Amino acid sequence: MTVLALDGISHAYFGRTVLDRVHLDVLAGQIVALVGPSGCGKSTLVHIAAQLIEPQRGRVASGYRRHGMIFQEPRLLPWATAEDNIAYPLRIAGMRRAERRERARLAADLVSLDRRDLEKYPVELSGGMRQRAAIARALVVEPDFVFFDEPFTALDVALKRQMQDLVVSTARQSHFAGLFVTHDLAEAVRIADRIVVLDERVRGIAGERFVPLPQAARNDTAVFHAVQSFLTQDPLFAHIHDTSERHIP
């Protein structure tokens, strides 16, 4: 069943086209990674899909009940504790304090955030703890779809791997679908079921590939070989590390 459908999405900033006639479907329980050269409109597309931006043309149709979103930075409220940050969407929804506190603690457990850290403020948390709190905040509403906008870009290698494993395990446990923006092909291979490549010259989607590995087999060696195969044998991935200069004929 399709839970997200993007139909002919086009968008521009100050007259410069960043997306042109993009069509994309995401199925229930499926994680789709968006990759492409820097500047090709990946983040803009995920913001449109999450209905944070209105496209200039095209239509977004969603079939999920609730969604969460995780941004490039944790974006925690500095004056609120980790627990209150996690529970914030529930507070906005009008849920009673006792219930939202319990839900926040369950979400913290899901991302392995120690309950002893829930009374700390963001400045007292490590980068990994802040990112866990941001993921818990997205999951506390029990979404069946999650949007990820390059959430681990600023993390070091070891912590990034932990966060990737966290996404995989929580997606399996919570059965949500997702759209995951990344510039890191290894991250896409590790997390996604499908990899969609945006065109470097803003002609929509250049193509897509299913990841040819079951999740249980995606160890470091298997991910490395899959990435090398894509980069050296598949012309679809030839330009994903380029920088788009928007020279559109």
DSSP assignments along 186-204, one per residue: HHHHHH-SEEEEE-TTSSS
- Bridging pattern class, strands 145-149 and 177-181: parallel
Task: For the chain, give every domain's residue range.
Answer: 29-54+144-249, 80-142
Task: At 91, list the tokens.
Answer: 């507070």
Give 114-120 contacts, CB < 8 A, sequence gap 24+. 117/82, 118/81, 118/82, 118/83, 118/86, 119/81, 119/82, 119/83, 120/81, 120/82
Residues of the chain with pLDDT under 70: 202-203, 242-249
Task: At 33, list the tokens.
Answer: 């990674």
pLDDT in tens, 36-69: 888 788 999 999 999 999 999 999 999 999 999 9
**Which residue's structure tokens are 């995989």?**
168
Q: Is 159 left (phi over 0), alpha (psi -120 to 50) or beta?
A: alpha
pLDDT at 72: 85
pLDDT in tens, 4-30: 999 999 999 888 888 999 999 999 999
CATH 3.40.50.300 is the classification of domain 29-54+144-249: yes
pLDDT at 62: 94
pLDDT at 246: 45
pLDDT at 202: 64
